[in-house]
Structure 1
């Protein structure tokens, strides 16, 4: 899996060296120090806001008195995946502040990257489940009611977590920490046994983590939009719960596509360079830089999702209000009981004092 930020050379540049008319490698030029400071602040900002927002979302889903719907089961697991990602990003922030030197050892090298990569795999497959649920709810509302139940949704989420872990196994096996004398840093990087293994594994992971899910999500989304349009045209109405849930889901899908598709497209180009289908060094260098930018932009999706729940999700806002009102009600009841007990206690004390005096 290509998340190379912990091993990005601090002296990478876009300049190409000509060797006998063929571009063989890219020259190395110093990256400005301010870039590392900006990157550190950006990662920490995403980490803090992402942790706060996703914990808030999970608290609303978990502590609300009503059980979660199928869509909410998927969204809560998506929030959990985002929380895992942003919780481990501070390690990258510290590494970035040290010009991508990795001071945390090999165990955290594997665990941090495992958590981040699992988030990418799990997130897109949670969206696959969400898309399938909306597709069944709106395109085939009567024929698949049995499988659209929370207990089946929970089983599906467990399978997604297992699949995410399985696809992340190469990170556990091939991530290593090694000192690079030429760069004077200790790097956390993927050390595949040979080039063919890298290429084969990357193609397989790209296919299962991006190409297949995106086609499935796109198909379901197109059918969902088509179904909603047809119902409006013929004057039919859908259930308000389904409409509200679908609006939120479409917003979450769009946010994911905007944040993650650029990274996957550039990553696909990188595979073409590894397969020597593309050989231009300058384009390769630009691809490398774009990949870094789009990768960190993709992480913003973990902060954006909770914001969308509040802005677009009417049902979610309703749950927040009900949870807040319930909490205020409990506090008021507790206060009233305590006040009553205090009053009764004072009355008893007064009566006892009067009896003693009499």
Structure 2
């Protein structure tokens, strides 16, 4: 990965730049640690984000603009998760990229863009909740589905245009062991420093300031509100607090070390001294794909009910499957089976009722959920 501005998994003996000089760094520990991180994110994050995409759709169907931001956040995570099998293969083969140069650039961009698209949409979620709580009537035009879609398109276009910058540079090089390394530059190059400063200031520092100001404003507005139920206040505070925690835990260490490298990394010795800490912080950014689905738990009161209904339906399906296998193993026309359970003849009807009850839980609403922004 780009040793300065952005970096994917980096584990091998690397060339320092496009010149003949070499900067050899031992990546052995990361060839063990990185696969664990990436496989965990792949196994846990893919189903979690697929489920989150479904709940985001329910929010959009309920005319909740927050669902637009959450769906875009999930799509960015899924794009990155789809690139993880390539990175796992890369690190397990001791930093040898066996695919095309273009695929290296695309996979690297997916990692890089996931960081900054996630940052942008986490910021949008906090600002949207701030406007909903502190100014529910003054800025209503910014809290519509149309406005959310427009803002989302602008974020994607901005980041995709930035990614073109990386397509203009060669990112696959051959190290001294004849391995094709992907997005590896040590020490970082001059062009990387410039893009790193931009990413730190515009992609991270500016959004985090907006996010923290929004969170402070939300807390102040919630405390002053006397017409809002305590449960709804707690719900809003948990949503924004979880957004801040995800933001800081996943992205702060990486950007601090990114700035340190951009300011002071000028030699191979410095690159070696900071390598382990920098790459561990990079791995933390991947956990964002697992943490983001947690936000859906705090979107609306109906999210928990929708999840309970879905779990109930799955449980009913599994129960039906087990009962069917049991009947195949012990046919009802067998003497023992007919003697042991005369009531089993009622099972199909009973299971049908159980399935129906799971899909129509008492008090469960239709699809979707009420927006959290409509506070008194």
TM-score with structure 2 length normalisation?
0.72
Q: Give deviations 1:304-355, integer Å, cap 9, x for gaps.
A: 22145348864422333456679999x99xx79xxxxxxxxxxxxxxxxxxx
1:176-191 mapped onto 2 (5 Å cutoff): 176-180=171-175, 182-189=176-183
1:128-143 mapped onto 2 (5 Å cutoff): 128-143=123-138
Describe the shift of the 1:326–1:318 C-alpha distance in structure 2 as closer, same or farther (beyond 3 A). same
Structure 2 equivalent of residue 260 of structure 1: 251
Query: What secondary structure is seen at the aligned counterpart in 2 of 1:168?
Result: helix
Q: Supply the distance in 2 between the matched residues of 1:289 and 1:69 (Cα, whole angstroms).
A: 43
Aligned partners of 1:60 and 1:323 also within 8 Å: no
Question: If each structure's strand is expressed as a fraction of its own residues, which one has the higher value?
Answer: 1
1:94-243 mapped onto 2 (5 Å cutoff): 94-180=89-175, 182-189=176-183, 195-231=189-225, 235-237=226-228
Query: What secondary structure is seen at the aligned counterpart in 1 of 2:223?
Result: helix
Describe the shift of the 1:60–1:298 C-alpha distance in structure 2 as closer, same or farther (beyond 3 A). same
Query: What secondary structure is seen at the aligned counterpart in 1 of 2:140?
Result: coil
Q: Supply the distance in 2 between the matched residues of 1:27 and 1:206 (Cα, whole angstroms).
A: 25
Describe the shift of the 1:58–1:291 C-alpha distance in structure 2 as closer, same or farther (beyond 3 A). same
Describe the shift of the 1:324–1:149 C-alpha distance in structure 2 as closer, same or farther (beyond 3 A). farther
The structure having more radius of gyration, on CA atoms, is 1
Describe the shift of the 1:68–1:83 C-alpha distance in structure 2 as closer, same or farther (beyond 3 A). farther
Q: Give deviations 1:51-110, integer Å, cap 9, x for gaps.
A: 110001112332679424122221121111111111111211111101111111112111
Is residue 248 of structure 1 aligned with residue 239 of structure 2?
A: yes
Query: What secondary structure is seen at the aligned counterpart in 1 of 2:177?
Result: coil
Task: Report how far residue 190 of structure 1 moved.
Answer: 6.2
Q: Supply the distance in 1 between the matched residues of 2:109 and 2:22 (Cα, whole angstroms).
A: 30
Structure 2 equivalent of residue 293 of structure 1: 280
Q: Give deviations 1:164-195, integer Å, cap 9, x for gaps.
A: 21222222222432222x23311112679x94
Q: Supply the distance in 2 between the matched residues of 1:308 and 1:64 (Cα, whole angstroms).
A: 13
Describe the shift of the 1:40–1:323 C-alpha distance in structure 2 as closer, same or farther (beyond 3 A). closer
Given the alignment, which residue of 3, 6, 14 partners 2:6? 3
Which consecutive unaligned segments of at least 5 residues does structure 1 have? 13-24, 337-358
Q: Supply the distance in 2 between the matched residues of 1:280 and 1:224 (Cα, whole angstroms).
A: 46
Task: Report how far residue 264 of structure 1 moved.
Answer: 0.6
CA RMSD, Structure 1 to Structure 2 (Å): 3.5
Describe the shift of the 1:167–1:30 C-alpha distance in structure 2 as closer, same or farther (beyond 3 A). closer
Describe the shift of the 1:319–1:188 C-alpha distance in structure 2 as closer, same or farther (beyond 3 A). same
Q: Supply the distance in 1 between the matched residues of 2:26 and 2:148 (Cα, whole angstroms).
A: 50
Aligned partners of 1:11 and 1:31 also within 8 Å: no
Which consecutive unaligned segments of at least 5 residues does structure 2 have? 16-20, 321-348, 354-376
Q: Supply the distance in 1 between the matched residues of 2:99 and 2:27 (Cα, whole angstroms).
A: 23
Task: Report how far residue 156 of structure 1 moved.
Answer: 1.2
Describe the shift of the 1:286–1:253 C-alpha distance in structure 2 as closer, same or farther (beyond 3 A). same
Query: What secondary structure is seen at the aligned counterpart in 2 of 1:187?
Result: strand
Q: Supply the distance in 1 between the matched residues of 2:138 and 2:245 (Cα, whole angstroms).
A: 27
TM-score with structure 1 length normalisation?
0.75
Describe the shift of the 1:262–1:109 C-alpha distance in structure 2 as closer, same or farther (beyond 3 A). same
Q: Supply the distance in 2 between the matched residues of 1:7 and 1:302 (Cα, whole angstroms).
A: 19
Q: Supply the distance in 1 between the matched residues of 2:230 and 2:147 (Cα, whole angstroms).
A: 22
Query: What secondary structure is seen at the aligned counterpart in 1 of 2:98?
Result: coil
Q: Supply the distance in 1 between the matched residues of 2:91 and 2:303 (Cα, whole angstroms).
A: 36
Task: Report how far residue 161 of structure 1 moved.
Answer: 1.2
